Amino acid sequence: MLDTIKEILAKQLRIDENDIDEDTLLREDLGVDSLDVVEMLMAIEDECGVMVPDDEIANLKTVGDVAKYVEENK
């Protein structure tokens, strides 16, 4: 799942997938803003079939957090 999330983020943010790992911070390291989060979550929903409720978004701080959430909620 981590590879899928990395691929989505790399494509969305136009960065090298190799620059992303499970400890990469979404906001601090990747500069993800609220619009990026919405786009990322829409892509994850399309790709993985997992919806992330608004109240869970604040808990997703790293790429690994996102991957873990998707895995646990498939």
Domain boundaries, the chain: 2-72
Composition of the chain by helix, strand, coil, percent to 5: 60, 5, 40
Output 10 or 54, whichever has higher pLDDT. Answer: 10
Q: Would you say residue 74 has pLDDT above 90?
A: no
Give yes or no: 33 in active site.
yes
Domain 2-72: CATH architecture, name and number where available: Orthogonal Bundle (1.10)
Q: State the catalytic residue, choosing from 16, 19, 33, 36.
A: 33
Structure letter (DSSP) for residue 16: -
The model's pLDDT over 13-71, given as tens digits with 9 standing for 90+, comes to: 999 999 999 999 999 999 999 999 999 999 999 999 999 998 999 999 999 999 999 99
